[in-house]
């Protein structure tokens, strides 16, 4: 009996184990089917296909792209607004430049939206033509010259000249000039007595005032000036230098009218001529009244660099004391310090 009971127990256990194995297999199949359903595309109640839901990363990427697009639109709008404002400012300036009448009313462009700007046709700006500087000049000058030297002090009665100049740079000019100086000298006997110790008895019959001497000098010079201020300045002070050739002539005013003699010698037609080279230091100022007209003030100091008196052999056979006197006076004038002051008109072309 005991053996039969044990067999029955063993059979029951085998049957139970078989049933549990079959139940476990069925449970696994159900879980597999459930997972397939959960991971499959969703179908709504109407049977329509529905897209799978976006992930968090996809949603962040989509939002980032939208923000970038909005930022680009805002920047474009800001740039467009600034451009429109600058065009409006420029249009107002141009209206003022043309006295407000040539450009008309400038259309107002609203900046509420970043719409394309309305293009306004602007008249071309005409550049102001720069005034051309005249570089060539003609300068007539009038003034006075004083001669100061050993035992002489003379002043010219007439002094005039004409100069032609051209600017080779904005500050440096080169020029040529001609000048004429004349004066009358009273030949008083005691003026040169101590210095030259001549016998003046030959013309004592002319009185204590002596004889009148005509002096004249023609000078041709080349000069250069340096202007201190800019070429467009109204007032242009300058300094400079000149080198001149002088032709001096001296003669008694009564030549040929009051001849006299001493024994076999005839006197009364004395004259002296001389050629010399002189140097001058210049200073002055030019003032402009208009593009073509101005004036100049000129101050110069002149000294002779050479001397060469030549007797006029056609007027006298033998030198008289008066002839020597003319020579001595002429030499004293050449050796004197010459100071000239002049004013002139400047004509530019």
Question: How does pLDDT run across 165-178, given as a tens digit for each residue?
Answer: 999 999 999 999 99
Q: Which pTM does this prediction carry?
A: 0.57
Which of 212, 152, 149 has its CA nearest to residue 183? 212
From CA 186, how far away is CA 235, in angstroms rounded?
Answer: 42
Q: Residue 305: count other Cβ atoms within 10 Å of its Cβ.
A: 13
Which of 250, 248, 246, 247 has its CA nearest to residue 185? 250
Are 284 and 296 within 8 A, CB to CB? Answer: yes
Domain ranges of the chain: 62-120, 136-257+265-348
From CA 158, how far away is CA 155, in angstroms rounded?
Answer: 9
pLDDT for position 93? 84
From CA 343, how far away is CA 141, in angstroms rounded?
Answer: 5
From CA 329, how far away is CA 185, in angstroms rounded?
Answer: 10
3 state DSSP class of 60: helix
Give the pLDDT mean for 134-143: 95
Give the HSE-up count for residue 216: Cα atoms under 13 Å, Cβ half-sphere. 9
Which of 342, 348, 313 has its CA nearest to residue 165? 348
From CA 344, how far away is CA 218, in angstroms rounded?
Answer: 18
pLDDT at 327 > cutoff 70: yes
Local confidence band at 307 (pLDDT 50, 70, 90 cut-offs): confident
Question: pLDDT (tens digit, 9 = 90+) per residue, 250-273?
Answer: 988 875 555 555 555 556 667 888
Q: How large a percentage of the chain has pLDDT more than 70? A: 61
pLDDT at 241 > cutoff 80: yes
Mean pLDDT score across all residues of the chain: 76
From CA 184, how far away is CA 251, in angstroms rounded?
Answer: 10
Question: pLDDT (tens digit, 9 = 90+) per residue, 190-209?
Answer: 444 434 333 333 444 444 55
pLDDT at 5 > cutoff 90: no
- Which backbone phi and psi does 25 adopt, to 5 degrees? -65, -40
The one-character DSSP state at 113 is S
pLDDT at 75 > cutoff 60: yes
pLDDT at 97 > cutoff 50: yes
Torsion (CA) 250, 256, 260, 263 in degrees, nearest 10: 90
**Mean pLDDT lowest for which of 191-195, 218-222, 238-242?**
191-195
Question: pLDDT (tens digit, 9 = 90+) per residue, 10-38?
Answer: 665 655 555 444 544 454 554 455 455 45
pLDDT at 342 > cutoff 80: yes
Residue with tokens 């210049």: 282
Which of 147, 206, 102, 167 has its CA nearest to residue 336? 147
pLDDT at 81 > cutoff 60: yes
Options 3.10.105.10, 1.10.357.10, 2.40.160.20, 2.20.70.10; CATH for 136-257+265-348 is 2.40.160.20
**How big is the CA angle at 318 (ends 312 and 324), to the nearest 5 degrees?**
70
Are 229 and 345 within 8 A, CB to CB? Answer: no
Are 122 and 102 within 8 A, CB to CB? Answer: no
Give the pLDDT mean for 159-169: 96
Which of 325, 252, 241 has its CA nearest to residue 284? 241
The one-character DSSP state at 43 is B
pLDDT for position 347? 96
pLDDT for position 108? 47
């Amino acid at each position: 009996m005991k053996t039969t009971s044990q067999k029955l127990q063993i059979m029951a256990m085998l049957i139970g184990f078989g049933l549990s194995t079959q139940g476990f297999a069925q449970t696994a199949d159900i879980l597999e089917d459930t997972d397939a359903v959960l991971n499959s595309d969703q179908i709504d109640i109407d049977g329509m296909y529905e897209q799978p839901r976006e992930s968090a990363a996809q949603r962040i990427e989509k939002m980032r792209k939208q923000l970038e697009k909005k930022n680009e639109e805002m920047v474009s709008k800001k740039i467009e607004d600034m451009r429109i404002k600058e065009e409006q400012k420029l249009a107002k300036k141009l209206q003022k430049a043309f006295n407000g009448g040539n450009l008309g009313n400038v259309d107002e462009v609203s900046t509420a939206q970043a719409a394309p700007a309305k293009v306004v046709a602007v008249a071309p700006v005409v550049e102001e033509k720069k005034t051309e500087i005249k570089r060539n000049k003609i300068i007539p000058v009038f003034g006075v010259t004083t001669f100061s030297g050993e035992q002489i002090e003379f002043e010219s009665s007439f002094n005039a000249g004409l100069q032609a100049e051209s600017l080779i740079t904005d500050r440096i000019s080169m020029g040529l000039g001609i000048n004429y100086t004349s004066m009358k000298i009273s030949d008083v006997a005691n003026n040169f007595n101590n210095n030259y110790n001549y016998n003046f008895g030959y013309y004592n019959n002319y009185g204590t005032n002596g004889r009148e001497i005509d002096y004249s000098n023609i000078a041709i010079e080349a000069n250069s000036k340096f202007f201190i201020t800019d070429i467009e300045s109204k007032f242009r002070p300058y300094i400079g230098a000149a080198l001149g050739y002088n032709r001096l002539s001296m003669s008694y005013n009564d030549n040929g009218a009051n001849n006299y003699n001493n024994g076999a010698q005839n006197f009364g037609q004395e004259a002296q001529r001389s050629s010399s080279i002189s140097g001058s230091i210049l200073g002055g100022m030019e003032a402009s009244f208009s593009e073509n007209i101005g004036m100049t003030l000129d101050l110069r100091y002149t000294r002779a660099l050479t001397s060469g008196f030549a007797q006029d052999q056609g007027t006298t056979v033998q030198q008289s004391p008066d002839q020597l006197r003319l020579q001595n006076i002429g030499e004293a004038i050449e050796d004197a310090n010459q100071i000239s002051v002049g004013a002139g008109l400047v004509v530019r072309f």
